[in-house]
C-alpha cells in the first residue's frame, strides 16, 4: 500500500534541514507504530520520501510525503496517529491512497507556488513587477566548476501576483518551476526582483512560505492529492 500525505512546516522549525526533517518523520512514524515498509539490506530504513526538498528557512503548508506501507491503513487513522507522534511545528493535513505503480512524487512535481513577504514599500509595485516579467531575460549568476555563469531564469517564472500592500510590507504570490527536472529557488527569484526594483537588500530579510506543489495533467495544474482523484477517473 502507498500513501501520500500533505503536511505543514511551521515557523518554529523552519531552520531544520531537509535531512533532519527526514529523521524527524522516521522517529515519529516509529513512535506512532505505523506499519511502514522498510528497505532490505544491512541498514534498512523506512520507505518514505519527500516530493521536493524545502530550502532551510522557509515555512510551508504544502509539503508532501510519499510513503510505502507494509499493510493497509485508512488515511484518517494514519493522519491521527502521526499527528499525535509528531513534534510541534509539523501537522499532517491530509493523506490519501495512491497506486503503488504510479511514478514517485519526486519525479513528477513540476511547479510550486509561494507567498513572499517583503518588509519594504515600493511605489507602483504591481506595474514595476509587470515590467520585470516583460523582460525576455532575467539573468542571475550561478557558480559551476569554479566559474561563474549567467543563467536566464525568466522561463522558470510563470506568474507573479500582488497579494497585499501597505506602508511597511508588500506580499506577492508567485508560481515557479520546481522539482527534479527544472527548479528555481524562490530566494533567487526574490533577490532578482528586488535587484530590478533597486531595493537595497542589506537591511532586511524577506520571509517565504510555500503554498503548494503541482504537476501538469491534460494542460491543467493539479496537486498530488488532486492526482489521486485524477488517476481514479
* Domain harbouring 191, CATH code: 3.30.70.3190
d(CA 109, CA 226) in angstroms, rounded, equals 13
Q: Based on the fold, state whether residues 91 and 118 are members of the same structural domain.
A: no
Residues ≥6 apart with Cβ < 8 Å to 220? none
DSSP state of 146: T
Q: Based on the fold, state whether residues 214 and 164 are members of the same structural domain.
A: yes
Task: Give the number of domains in the chain.
Answer: 2
d(CA 57, CA 189) in angstroms, rounded, equals 15
Q: How deeply is 171 buried, as exposed, middle or buried, from its count of CB atoms within 10 A (0-12, 13-18, 19+)?
A: middle
Q: Based on the fold, state whether residues 212 and 118 are members of the same structural domain.
A: yes
How many CB atoms lie under 10 A from the CB of residue 111? 20
Which residue segment(s) compose the domain that 160 sits in?
Answer: 111-221
Q: Based on the fold, state whether residues 35 and 68 are members of the same structural domain.
A: yes
Q: Based on the fold, state whether residues 88 and 49 are members of the same structural domain.
A: yes
Q: Based on the fold, state whether residues 117 and 100 are members of the same structural domain.
A: no
Per-residue pLDDT of the chain in tens (233 residues, 90 and over written 9): 999 999 999 999 999 999 999 999 999 999 999 999 999 888 888 999 999 999 999 999 999 999 999 999 999 999 999 999 999 999 999 999 998 888 999 999 999 999 999 888 888 988 999 999 999 999 999 877 778 889 999 999 999 999 988 888 899 999 999 998 899 999 999 999 999 999 887 766 789 999 999 999 888 999 999 877 655 43
What is residue 230's predicted lDDT score, i.e. its pLDDT?
52
Grid cell in block for residue 158: 510563470
Q: Based on the fold, state whether residues 68 and 142 are members of the same structural domain.
A: no
Q: Based on the fold, state whether residues 207 and 186 are members of the same structural domain.
A: yes
What is residue 206's predicted lDDT score, i.e. its pLDDT?
82
Q: Based on the fold, state whether residues 18 and 36 are members of the same structural domain.
A: yes
Q: Is residue 79 part of a domain?
A: yes
Residue 89 in contact with residue 12, Cβ under 8 Å? Answer: yes
Give the end of a domain, one of 74, 108, 142.
108
Residue 108 in contact with residue 215, Cβ under 8 Å? Answer: yes
Q: Based on the fold, state whether residues 94 and 160 are members of the same structural domain.
A: no
Q: Based on the fold, state whether residues 117 and 188 are members of the same structural domain.
A: yes
Residue 157 in contact with residue 184, Cβ under 8 Å? Answer: yes
d(CA 40, CA 38) in angstroms, rounded, equals 7
Give the end of a domain, one of 108, 129, 146.
108
Of 176, 180, 175, 156, which Cα lies nearest the Cα of 52?
A: 180
Q: Is residue 102 part of a domain?
A: yes
Q: Is residue 229 part of a domain?
A: no
Grid cell in block for residue 71: 499493510
Q: Based on the fold, state whether residues 206 and 155 are members of the same structural domain.
A: yes
3 state SS of 83: helix
Give the end of a domain, one of 108, 139, 163.
108
d(CA 9, CA 57) in angstroms, rounded, equals 10
Q: Is residue 9 part of a domain?
A: yes
Residue 41: which region, alpha, beta or left (left: phi > 0; alpha: psi -120 to 50)?
left
- Global pTM value: 0.92
What is residue 168's predicted lDDT score, i.e. its pLDDT?
82
Q: Is residue 145 part of a domain?
A: yes
Amino acid at each position: 500500500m502507498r500513501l501520500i500525505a500533505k503536511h505543514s512546516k511551521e515557523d518554529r522549525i523552519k531552520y531544520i534541514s531537509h535531512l533532519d526533517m527526514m529523521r524527524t518523520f522516521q522517529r515519529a512514524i516509529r513512535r506512532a507504530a505505523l506499519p511502514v515498509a522498510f528497505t532490505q539490506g544491512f541498514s534498512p530504513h523506512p520507505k518514505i520520501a519527500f516530493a521536493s526538498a524545502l530550502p532551510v528557512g522557509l515555512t510551508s503548508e504544502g509539503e508532501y510525503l510519499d510513503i510505502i506501507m507494509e499493510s493497509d491503513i485508512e488515511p484518517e487513522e494514519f493522519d491521527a496517529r502521526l499527528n499525535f507522534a509528531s513534534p510541534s511545528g509539523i501537522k499532517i493535513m491530509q493523506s490519501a491512497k495512491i497506486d503503488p505503480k504510479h511514478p514517485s512524487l519526486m519525479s513528477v512535481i513540476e511547479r510550486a507556488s509561494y507567498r513572499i513577504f517583503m518588509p519594504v514599500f515600493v511605489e507602483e509595485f504591481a506595474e514595476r513587477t509587470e515590467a520585470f516579467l516583460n523582460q525576455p531575460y532575467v539573468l542571475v549568476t550561478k557558480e559551476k566548476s569554479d566559474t561563474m555563469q549567467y543563467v536566464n531564469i525568466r522561463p522558470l517564472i510563470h506568474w507573479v501576483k500582488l497579494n497585499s500592500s501597505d506602508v511597511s510590507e508588500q506580499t506577492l504570490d508567485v508560481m515557479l518551476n520546481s522539482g527534479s527536472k527544472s527548479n528555481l529557488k524562490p530566494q533567487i527569484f526574490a533577490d532578482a526582483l528586488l535587484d530590478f526594483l533597486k531595493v537595497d537588500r542589506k537591511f532586511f530579510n524577506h520571509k517565504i512560505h510555500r503554498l503548494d506543489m503541482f504537476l501538469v495533467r491534460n494542460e491543467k495544474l493539479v496537486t498530488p492529492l488532486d492526482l489521486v482523484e485524477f488517476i481514479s477517473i
